[in-house]
Amino acid sequence: MAAGHRGRCHPEHTGHGIGATSPVAAALRREMGVHSLILTVVTSTIGSGWLFAPYFCARIAGPSSLLAWVIGGAMAFMLAMVFAELGSLVNSSGALAQIPLLSHGRFSGFVGGWSAWISYVTLPTIEVLALLQYLSSVMPWLTLDSGDNQMLSGAGQLMGVALLVLFTWINLSGVNRLAQWIDGLTIWKLVVPVLVAIVLMLIAGHWSNLQLPTPQGDSALVNAIGSGGILFSLMGFRTAMDMAGEVRRPQRNVPLAMAVGLGICLLIYLVLQLGFLVSVPPQDLHRGWNLLTLTAHGGPLAALAAGLGLGWMVTLLLADAVVSPGATGLAYLGISARVTWMMGTCRLLPAAMGRLNSRGVPHWSLISSLVVGTILLRVAPGWQGLVSFLTSTLVIALAMGPVSLLALRRQLPAAQRHFQVPCPRVFCSVAFVIATWAISWTGRPALEGAVVVIAVPSLIYVIVQSSRHHPTDLRSGLWWALYLGLLVLDMELFSKGQPWELATGWHLSVLALMALAVMPLAVSSALTDASPHALTDLTHAA
């Protein structure tokens, strides 16, 4: 592409990454430092999941859950490093929408951005649901019993809407106010989980629990990572990219925040998992880890604390059950708006989504996230029913990363990259295989639901754009249809309970071969030059 070519998408500019000085650059303010960005990653990673994941992982994998966290952390780190390079190149808020647009054109930009937005916009609702369910232990009028489940009462739904409105107001106040809230809340979120884990280990200390066998054999690790909450808990690293447009020195600070934030969170989760494993009373494990049942208001950790007579810890856990989901919901409401802001700026969604208010905040995008979150609060089946689905949609969006990285290495060979992954072809191939495994591990219902929710709007987008005689770059994005179709076919044929069910090792091999076959096609189908609809100036990259 010729230097200086101008398109319709105007991402921010720092003089070193993609983009150039633009009206957006002057409006979307770079006021967030690396300290606040690291804390944003931490607060996005440690939400309501820390109160549940240790329990579900222990039931699935027993002591092997510690290894599952290490493997899940390694998988998240591989994907994080791919996006660290992309973040040093494309340092704009909502970059998960801009990156596929940049390398593969409009259709891929829509698929990638829409997949990310689906997961982001639903997370605040999930966190509010968790928060209200915990509060119902002291305010029972918030929920109603429905069989074995709890549903929000009318009053609970009104309080949920009020919380979402509060989160929106804080985000509309501007990035400085958001950073102040995140900094304060995240310090709490760092201290409480570590304190709880250490106290449980010191007081209970049933170290013989670590010698009990793994419940589910060779599939235990896979199931713990995919459905035990590990992937769901560790994918918060990408928020550093989504806030990159408001970060000082993004080429340095975005990769640094990803690595440091992810490392801190993984360490906390490992300590939590160990604390949970050794604090379960041995008499509760006489039938094995997979039949462990802990019931108490506030969740399994509160049940353990109550059983040990630690009333102060129960109170602390209930307080944290408000703070952790609240801070995470607050962060993700703002992050979801950054994705739709970028899609609106690049004309992948109505242009109103790309407008900013006087504080440099994408107000219409925030309001749309509030509206969707309110609707979801009404129709959502509950916290657990949405986690696997959201993980599936998010990892589908992240799967674009390795493909785009290799394509952009060819399209923009001279662009400055302040961080680069080593041996990019091998590294990206492994990362794409990891993403493929992760999507599959979320389970058949979650994957098939995610594909439907992504495919139908994508088809509508193509039809609408074609009817207006607007180009869609469909040929460059058709690999998405092949990839998602093969994933669904694999689940229908080779997953558990299907006609040709494969053992875990063989199934992983089939998925790896499928990913390695699709990836070269995906990379080769990229645009010849980076899309002018995602750039304003390439004079520094020519």
Mean pLDDT in order along the chain per 10 residues (542 residues)? 40 40 43 77 81 87 92 92 83 74 90 86 83 77 68 85 88 63 69 92 91 75 84 82 68 82 93 94 86 68 86 86 79 77 76 73 81 80 69 90 94 82 93 94 86 93 90 92 94 84 90 96 93 52 32
pLDDT attached to residue 258: 85
pLDDT attached to residue 511: 96
pLDDT attached to residue 181: 58
pLDDT attached to residue 141: 85
pLDDT attached to residue 414: 83
Q: Which residues does 418 contact at the CB level (< 8 Å), separation at least 6?
A: 16, 88, 251, 252, 255
pLDDT attached to residue 11: 42
pLDDT attached to residue 335: 75
pLDDT attached to residue 227: 77
Q: 230 and 68 in contact (C-beta within 8 Å)? A: yes
Q: Which residues does 460 contact at the CB level (< 8 Å), separation at least 6?
A: none
pLDDT attached to residue 243: 65
Closest CA to 60 of 230, 269, 236, 267: 230
pLDDT attached to residue 3: 36
pLDDT attached to residue 183: 60
187-192 contacts at long range (C-beta below 8 A, 24 or more positions apart): 187/39, 188/320, 188/323, 189/42, 189/43, 189/46, 189/320, 189/323, 189/324, 189/327, 190/42, 190/46, 190/264, 190/268, 192/316, 192/320, 192/323, 192/324
Residues in the chain: 542
pLDDT attached to residue 29: 56
pLDDT attached to residue 31: 60
End-to-end Cα distance, the chain: 8
